[in-house]
A and B are shown apart, each in its own frame.
Chain A
Amino acid sequence: MSMDRRQFLKIAGISTVLGLGGASVMRGVRGSEAEASHVMTNEKALTAKRWAMVIDVSKFRTEEEYKRLIKACHSIHNVPDFGEPKDAIKWIWTDTYEHTFPTQPNEYMGESVKEKPFVLLCNHCANPPCVRVCPTKATFKRKDGIVMMDQHRCIGCRFCMAACPFGARSFNYKDPRLALKPEDENKEYPTRTIGVVEKCTFCTERLSKGLIPACVEAAREIAKETGTEPGMYFGDLDEPGSEVRKVLSACYTIRRKPELGTEPSVFYVIGGEKNA
């Protein structure tokens, strides 16, 4: 089909008007309700101003219980197990009091606390040094306080690992997909590529579907089975009535290395013989 000058101008004119019209409609929409977000949020999604976690280590009894927490997280997030510490990827793990709180040593501490495993994960600091140092904004803080990673943007410089005072970050020194059995892979969650950093995300993918983090859910299941109280709480630190705030006001809690000013969002109830 050929087109003369007149026809061309007509079509061009109409499409310009339509185009402008379209743009103004869009502007109207963005100005009113759908602010900045083009993605529809799930109505069931859990939201908060600052997500936080309280871990009551006195509530856990056996090594098996800790393993369940770790497995709950690592299996759904496709965290590979290379079987050696050098290249290890860890989102959640356990260590002793001495290693968890190295700046608060106490050599006369009772065996019950000394030998007790502590659950460790990213602290989702309110003032995160990892976010400050990242040269590409691949790690960033969300509005709900979660410190998140964009593994497609990460260049693998590992500045964040040097900056994190809690050793919460792991680097994919090897291809993580080689350590994942296809039958174990969770197809709902992406696997990572070689050469990027990763860590706990407070299960953002579950929160957006209205589910609590996998480790907290596992802790609740354990409590139900053993007829006790759960050892992990999750909620909004900004909400006075939230589960975490209730525990925080009822129990004495500590955080890891608070003197560094990173303001961790993970709190620990230590307990001891009497509480156990």
Chain B
Amino acid sequence: MLEKALNGSRRYWTWVFFLLALVGVGFVNYLYQFKNGLGITGMSRDVSWGLYIGQFTFLVGVAASAVMLVIPYYLHDFKKFSKIVILGEFLAVAAVTMCISFIFVDLGQPMRVLNVIFHPTPNSILFWDMIVLNGYLFLNIIIGWMTLSADRKGVKPPHWVRPLIYLSIPWAFSIHTVTAFLYAGLPGRHFWLSAIMAARFLASAFAGGPALLIILALIVRRLTKFDPGKEPIQAVGKIVTYAMIANVFFLGLEFFTAFYSQIPGHMDSFKYLYTGFEGHDRLVPLMWTSSVLAVVSLILLIIPSWRKSESILATACVALFISLWIDKGFGLVIGGFIPNPFDTITEYWPTLRESLIATGVWALGFLVLTLLYKIAVTVREETSGIEIEH
């Protein structure tokens, strides 16, 4: 099926080469970072994780969201998802590719990355994160590829794929739970030291990932002959709505615990992010942008007649995605480091090179996504009208 990615329109190739160019720019800047060290980023002794780890965290959520299509389709026999479940699985593959790349570009000694395998350390959450992320990547590659190639041949996928699909469900939850545990188990980082962290991560994942999927499905419909269908998109829209409500509710719980208890350590990071703290307020405009977009998206999503309009649904999804991208891809990680263990403040802002490297990783992910979607869409176009049960 791979050959289907090699046969496309002029527009397709322009897009592919545009992404390749961004990957190239990112790669050149990465080589500079490789030689000169992470000092070229905005990270510091006090804020020792930044844009890279933030994006990694956010994208783990996007990856996990495939399960929101897999559960209704495979466990509840919700047939309407039969055509788009592949879009979710391939989005997961692209997202995990970005996650692993973001971890890699964040390492000070990337050539030693295999030390994690040579010296396995089960007490480290990062060790488990490596296992669950790679496992999830392979599960989705195998499941997506096998079901799609079976569709193409007009046959059922092999029997052994079924258990893998069931396995991928708890596995999706595991990747985001383990990623939350990276943060939630650290003493002295009050902003992260919260039992609701994993639940909040999952809620935001099941809102942000499917929102992106809706946007992608609408783009696919506009650009190709493959129509994912109106009903499945509406169904995903409902999932996004419920998940976003849960996410905002969980964030509210964090606010309550911090500000009703009045414990300084619990309040300080929130104060820094939303009002500024001791004269430092670089992230305040960003965090309020995120909050406003969250509210706007919720209003658009909750009112049924608005949600049913695809253009309003798309607007809501874009607003929601940007909101969560700021909140989780930036504020969550940076906020945890501010104030630092001495109760003083060192602010963080990514450098140009750092941003270009991050853009390169995103471009790499979108390249993987484009190629996989091209293959999936071509198969769907060829087999349109034929329904095959997985």
Instruction: Tell me the B321-368 residues at the A interface (CB within 8 Å).
Output: 336-337, 340-344, 346
Q: How many A-B residue pairs have CB under 8 A?
A: 144
Q: Which of A63-71, A154-162, A231-239 contacts B (4 or more CB under 8 A)?
A: A154-162
- B-side contacts of A175, CB under 8 Å: 36-37
Query: For the complex, would chain B's binding face be called helix, strand, loop or mixed by DSSP majority?
Result: loop
Q: How large is the interface on B (under 10, 10 to 19, 20 to 34, 35 or more residues)?
A: 35 or more
If the complex has contacts A137-B119, A155-B108, A175-B37, are A162 and B189 also in contact, measured as CB distance less than 8 A? yes
Contact residues, A149-191 vs B (CB, 8 A)? 153-159, 161-167, 170-175
B163 sits at the interface (CB 8 A): no
Q: Is the CB of A173 within 8 A of B38?
A: yes
Asked if B224 is an interface residue, CB under 8 A from chain A, the answer is no
- CA gap between A155 and B117 in the complex, in Å: 12
Q: How large is the interface on A (under 10, 10 to 19, 20 to 34, 35 or more residues)?
A: 35 or more
Flag whether B385 is at the interface (Cβ < 8 A).
Answer: no
Given contacts A133-B124, A155-B116, A196-B109, contact A170 B188 (CB under 8 A): no
B10 interface residue per 8 A CB criterion: no
A88, A156, A165: the one within 8 Å of B187 (CB):
A165
How distant is the Cα of A134 from the Cα of B49 in the complex, in angstroms?
15
Q: Is B126 an interface residue (CB 8 A)?
A: yes
Which single member of A88, A129, A157 contacts B45 (CB below 8 Å)?
A: A88
Would B45 and A87 count as touching, CB distance under 8 A? yes
The verdict on A194 contacting B115 (CB below 8 Å), with A135-B124, A163-B186, A174-B39 known, is no
Q: Are A174 and B37 in touch, CB under 8 angstroms?
A: yes
Is the pair A194, B182 in contact by a Cβ cutoff of 8 Å? no
Task: Find residues 26-81 in chain A having any chain B CB closer than 8 Å to their own CB.
Answer: none
* Chain A contact residues, CB within 8 Å of chain B: 85-88, 90, 95, 98-100, 102-103, 129, 132-138, 153-159, 161-167, 170-175, 193-197, 257, 260-262
Additional A-B contact list (11), CB under 8 Å, known A129-B186, A174-B39: A85-B346, A99-B344, A153-B115, A155-B110, A155-B115, A155-B116, A156-B108, A158-B49, A171-B45, A257-B188, A262-B187
Chain B residues within 8 Å of A, Cβ to Cβ: 36-39, 41, 43-46, 48-49, 103, 106-110, 112-113, 115-116, 118-119, 121, 123-127, 130, 182-183, 185-189, 265, 336-337, 340-344, 346
8 example contacts (A-B, Cβ-Cβ < 8 A) are as follows: A102-B341, A129-B188, A134-B124, A155-B109, A165-B187, A165-B189, A175-B37, A194-B108
